[in-house]
Amino acid sequence: MSKKIMVVDDSRMAQLQLQKILDDTDYQVAACCQSGEDALRMYDEVKPDLVTMDILMPGMDGLEAARLLLQEHPDANVLMVSSLAYDDTINEANSIGTKGFVYKPFDRDQLLPAIQHAIGDANA
């Protein structure tokens, strides 16, 4: 059975790239959200195994969305995916409880191991 991923990114190109990388894997994109607010609204409906979260988005940024999501759903798996890769940003993401950080632009060799680690999926 495939694992469900919710992609939270205001860039349609990033959403499509992630979907393309996940083709022919045990992961499926179950939902795409354009903002942190959308992700918080849709999480209970989608019940994803993993949320990939961009940081720079209109409205609520990804760090705040991840913080709120993990407060409400402590067992959620959140993987930050961003070009904003400064040490303080990565440290903040770690302190919130996210499961890792993937730098944009990403490729299959970076993304799949990060997803597997974030979900704890040793068999994928």
Domain of 9, CATH number, reads 3.40.50.2300
Q: For residue range 57-85, what is the model confidence (pLDDT) as tens digits?
A: 999 999 999 999 999 999 999 999 998 77
Instruction: Tell whether 81 is covered by a domain.
Output: yes
122 pLDDT tier (thresholds 50, 70, 90): low
Task: Give the max Cα distance, the chain.
Answer: 37
Average of pLDDT values for 47-55?
A: 97
Question: Smallest Cα–Cα separation from 49: which of 121, 124, 119?
Answer: 119
Determine phi and psi for 38, rounding to 5 degrees: -60, -40
Instruction: Tell whether 52 is covered by a domain.
Output: yes
Q: What is the pLDDT of residue 84?
A: 79
Residue 58 one-letter amino acid: P
d(CA 45, CA 111): 25
Rounded (10°) CA dihedral 58, 10, 84, 49: 120
d(CA 88, CA 73): 24
d(CA 14, CA 53): 11
pLDDT at 123 over 70: no
Instruction: Tell whether 124 is covered by a domain.
Output: no
Instruction: Tell whether 96 is covered by a domain.
Output: yes
Q: For residue range 32-45, what is the model confidence (pLDDT) as tens digits?
A: 999 999 999 999 99
16 pLDDT tier (thresholds 50, 70, 90): very high
- Indicate the number of domains in the chain: 1
User: Mean pLDDT of all residues in the chain?
Assistant: 93
pLDDT at 121 over 80: no
A 10 A CB-CB count for 37 gives: 17
124 pLDDT tier (thresholds 50, 70, 90): very low
Instruction: Tell whether 104 is covered by a domain.
Output: yes
User: Residue 96 is part of which domain span?
Assistant: 3-119
